[in-house]
Amino acid sequence: MTFAFLEEYIHFMEKRCFWRVCQLISFMTSDLYLGKESKIVEPNVMNHPVKRGHLYLLKPLLLSLLISSLSQVSAQEEKPLNLNKPEREQWFTDLGFGMFIHWSFDVQLGMVISHSMVGASDDYLERYVNELPKTFNPEDFNAQKWAKAAKMAGMKYIVFTTKHHNGFCMYNTKSTDFNIMNTPYGKDITKQIVDACREEGLAVGLCFSPDDFYFLYSHGELISRKRPNALASNNKALSEYVIRQMKELMTQYGKIDIVFLDGMDQFGNTELAKICWDINPEVVVTRGAIETPEQKTPDSALPSPWEACYTLGNQWQYRPTNENYKSANTTIEKLIEVRAKGGNLLLNFGPDSDGVFPSEQLGVLNELSLWMFINKEALEQTIPRYPLKEDNLWFLKRKDEKIVYVFIVEDNWKFGERKEFQINSLKMTDETKISVLGHNGKVLEYAPEVDPSPSIKKTEKGVEISVMRAQRIYNDKQWKNPIVVKIEEID
């Protein structure tokens, strides 16, 4: 009977079915108090006849487990606390587009960042923790280049992963020796990125994980993100440790604009968020306080602020082989969709072990930069418009103005070809005018006889716009990215 109970208890705890654990223990302890045999109609251990004499000695243990399980229920169901100031959340939403950077010392082997430690052998962990940092020396790292590249691509902020789940700090910390200062590189990478962001006028964002595999390893705990002792809500020493680190990050680098708390435990995220708001009431806490869907976009618009987090490839950290990168076209269309639905796009890039963005990532970043150079007006000081889209047309409107931007997502649109699009949700006025961002509407190269100007006319259902792909962007005239049309003085 006792072994059956313990098996059930362990099973439910590992599955984080804490209400089920409480129910299990409550049934057991209720028989202690009843002092009689009973048969409980429940599966497994709960179907065993229970006798007071058999369980009396287990009473202290059962009550202790019940208290522990109830605390787990509280931690599991705790809702996010949001003390972000409304005006700061609006400021954040207006930023619109940011660069996420995942980078740690295990990039040297092209592996998943941090997670290989879970379930790893003692030998693997010993070499991971004690040997791998000794060879991390990203001599080509240049924070200014990163910041300039992000700015050129129209990004308004950078969120850098200062500590991921492996516990390795990419900044100068006094909390642990497991940090960047104890590598051959030996310089504070976080400080360099913060300084470069400020120099380029970008908002400063720090990502921090309260989940810490190194802390668990150094304390003889089994490495996990879901076991009770891996959570700050159940591990006081871990909670105090990560709070100390959060205080360092919020005080060593001046004013931090954005904090992204990447923990499994909402209790841990909330406790750290409180530290951030206490030190800097102007900071915007994203994950841990607002919606931050990962690798997906909501089907419909969400109330702002929210932030969609996407990798450029399949993996957050760089890997040199077996990687599949999104095209710039896919990324641009994702940016348009997220902004049309009122969110921010946080697009992840992963530098290599030398501290350089690989050529595949730079290529996408370059094409993004080119598209933004032409169309950035449509993504600045604009808000969602309802309906969000019609067919292959997405909409944004300029704040407090009668201006609508139409993002035309159209395949197989040849240079010099004119196409018409019906828009039922727009009503034109006598003052309505139309233009294509980046083009003057007057010249089609090598075809002076052609009129490339866009036009708009009223229809029974709304308006019809006529647009030519008339600007030569590439030498071969193959430019597959969305065209943006600006319509002014529209109802």
Mean pLDDT, residues 135-141? 98
My answer on whether 133 and 263 are in the same domain is yes
Instruction: Give pairs for 225-228: CB < 8 Å, separation 24+.
Output: 225/118, 225/165, 225/264, 226/14, 226/16, 226/264, 227/14, 228/13, 228/68, 228/72
Mean pLDDT, residues 373-391? 97
For the stretch 108-132, pLDDT in tens is 999 999 999 999 999 999 999 999 9
My answer on whether 72 and 104 are in the same domain is no
Q: Of 98, 104, 150, 156, nearest to 347 (Cα)?
A: 98
Domain of residue 471, residue span: 382-490
Give yes or no for residue 447 having a pLDDT over 60: yes
Q: Of 287, 392, 396, 387, nearest to 338 (Cα)?
A: 396
Give yes or no for residue 48 having a pLDDT over 80: no
Could you say which DSSP state residue 9 is in? Answer: H
d(CA 100, CA 2): 50
- Show which of 322, 354, 376 is a domain's final residue: 376
Indicate the average pLDDT of the chain. Answer: 89
Mean pLDDT, residues 245-269? 96
Mean pLDDT, residues 139-168? 98
pLDDT reported for residue 150: 98
Phi, psi at 356, each rounded to 5°: -120, 140
Q: What angle do CA 313, 318, 324 make, to 5 degrees?
A: 25
Give yes or no for residue 8 having a pLDDT over 60: no
For the stretch 300-321, pLDDT in tens is 999 989 999 999 999 999 999 9
pLDDT reported for residue 304: 86
d(CA 237, CA 200): 39
pTM here? Answer: 0.84
Answer whether 454's CB lies under 8 Å from 435's CB: yes
Output the CA torsion sign for 470, 472, 478, 479. negative
For the stretch 207-253, pLDDT in tens is 999 999 999 999 999 999 989 999 999 999 999 999 999 999 999 99
My answer on whether 443 and 369 are in the same domain is no
35 — pLDDT class (breaks 50, 70, 90):
very low
My answer on whether 112 and 160 are in the same domain is yes
Q: What angle do CA 262, 264, 269 make, to 5 degrees?
A: 60
Phi, psi at 487, each rounded to 5°: -120, 120
Which CATH number do you get for residue 122? Answer: 3.20.20.80
For the stretch 322-352, pLDDT in tens is 999 999 999 999 999 999 999 999 999 999 9
Mean pLDDT, residues 73-82? 70
My answer on whether 209 and 107 are in the same domain is yes
My answer on whether 297 and 335 are in the same domain is yes
d(CA 300, CA 386): 11
- Show which of 342, 376, 410 is a domain's final residue: 376
My answer on whether 184 and 329 are in the same domain is yes
My answer on whether 312 and 281 are in the same domain is yes
My answer on whether 154 and 35 are in the same domain is no
Give yes or no for residue 66 having a pLDDT over 70: no
